Chain A
Amino acid sequence: MAGLSTRHLLGIKDLNAADIQLIFETADTFKSVLNRPIKKVPSLRDVTIANIFFENSTRTRLSFELAERRLSADVVNFAASSSSVSKGETLIDTVNNILAMKVDLVVMRHPYAGAGVFLSKHVKAQIVNAGDGAHEHPTQALLDAFSIREKYGDVAGKKVVIVGDILHSRVALSNILCLKQLGAEVMVCGPTTLIPKYIGSLGVKVEHNLIKALNWCDVANMLRIQLERQDIKYFPSLREYTMLYGLNKQILDGLDKKITVMHPGPINRGVEITSDVADSKQSIILDQVENGVAIRMAVLYLLAGQAS
């Protein structure tokens, strides 16, 4: 049977529809493994994986590490804040030093867009992008689409609106590419300053009115305002943003239909989404986290299985 068409997972851009289907089908079997009394399989017992995080992360790093351990891989963790990077070492040197310790696969998060692509051209190991700047976050998009598929049976034909800081969001770009590849309709919604000028060329709709956007969609993916990536002020105040683009129970209950609410985390409760919405029955936020482990197991299994 055919495997993935790519040796690295650098972005959704490199995946075709068959790749995504294969990842989903493999994730289905891993999800059933995760519900067994013993949640571990020995597939990657001779594989060593380095998780290299040049940027803070809780969910993604834990999710990757758990996925790796469930597959019986050996895992080494590296956080830039406590490493020689702060002594002036370059990215290639850092990674080559780690690879000299016989690492087969690198999971990397980096604040610069394209860091994964750059690395894949200079080192032998297979690279999985766990987020590169405001560029891509492929496993997040895969688990989001997988969660929509789980909820509705299929992604094709579904209407998904991504609300918030589209400009600084790698989740937004990867989600748009993944959902379009699977045949969903995608809309982005947010203040003009946070929507990239040429986003329309990706084939998505743009809407600046939250209520209109929500009335159009089946699924709303609420993004966090990435204050750490904003070098200038894009809107007058967080309070004003919340008034115009925050999702609360009143808005949710006032819609024509019951939509599904998603959030990639971390949530800023009371800013883009209120607690009663995040914890409501329409929210699948924790399902997303659960599916994240299965999706990452599938990606690592399929990539590692190529080497022979």
Chain B
Amino acid sequence: MQNLTLLDGQKFQITIQRLCRQLIENHNDFSDSVIIGIQPRGIYLAKRIAEELRKILPGKTILQGDLDITFYRDDFRRRGEQLVPNQTKIDFITEGKKVIMMDDVLWTGRTIRAAMDALQAFGRPEKVELLVLVDRRYSRHLPVAADYTGIEVDSIASQKVVVSWKEADSEDRIVLVNE
């Protein structure tokens, strides 16, 4: 089977714009809210959303950080390969803030479970929300749901959803890969 492009070009941009507007509905001028991208691939989404929000809300401070969840994963010692950590970069206080965690694809929910644990190490946020670009439905291993969703996809376990970013991969595109 061929790979299927789910979203690219102008439609990709419209989806990002819609997510930004939805965030503004709930977070107003972001004075009490912060954005956290989950390493390794969620940081591109978080950076893009933060950048767009700064354009829509000129003069407002949009805080955005990167969170690495490697040490909180539940498959340590259960995989053949070594889990090597990425950088965590959070230069602000999350205590008492509304935190919006962002990742490119929501699949089993295990990454989000680990991310919620990892986030606790930085203090107690007032609220934690989840924004994902792609929600792979009917594939959850844990009771996790996103508050904001770019697109929903029905897929089977052998398929993969790959999100490419202009910054890292030269173009914005979401592809369903058949293996």
A305, B121: Cβ atoms under 8 Å? no
A38, B121: Cβ atoms under 8 Å? yes
Smallest beta-carbon distance A277→chain B, Å: 36
B122, A305: Cβ atoms under 8 Å? no
Chain A 269-308, CB-CB to B under 8 Å as 1, else 0, gives 0000000000000000000000000000000011011111
Give how many A residues have a beta carbon under 8 Å from the other chain's beta carbons.
29
- Bound CA–CA A24/B71 (angstroms): 16
Chain A 25-42, CB-CB to B under 8 Å as 1, else 0, gives 110110011001110111
Give how many B residues have a beta carbon under 8 Å from the other chain's beta carbons.
23
- Does A90 sit at the interface, judged by CB under 8 A? no
Chain B 43-86, CB-CB to A under 8 Å as 1, else 0, gives 00000000000000000000000001011110011111111111
Chain A 15-26, CB-CB to B under 8 Å as 1, else 0, gives 000000010011
- Does B31 sit at the interface, judged by CB under 8 A? no
Q: B81: which A residues are within 8 A, CB to CB?
A: 1, 3
B68, A29: Cβ atoms under 8 Å? yes
- Name the CB-closest residue of A to B118: A41
Q: List 17 A-B contacts (CB under 8 A).
A: A3-B81, A3-B82, A22-B84, A29-B87, A37-B121, A38-B122, A41-B121, A42-B72, A42-B117, A43-B72, A46-B77, A304-B77, A305-B76, A305-B82, A305-B83, A308-B77, A308-B80
Known: A29-B87, A43-B76, A304-B76. 16 other contacts (CB 8 A): A1-B82, A1-B84, A2-B82, A3-B82, A26-B84, A29-B88, A36-B121, A38-B121, A40-B121, A41-B71, A42-B72, A44-B76, A71-B71, A304-B77, A305-B76, A307-B77
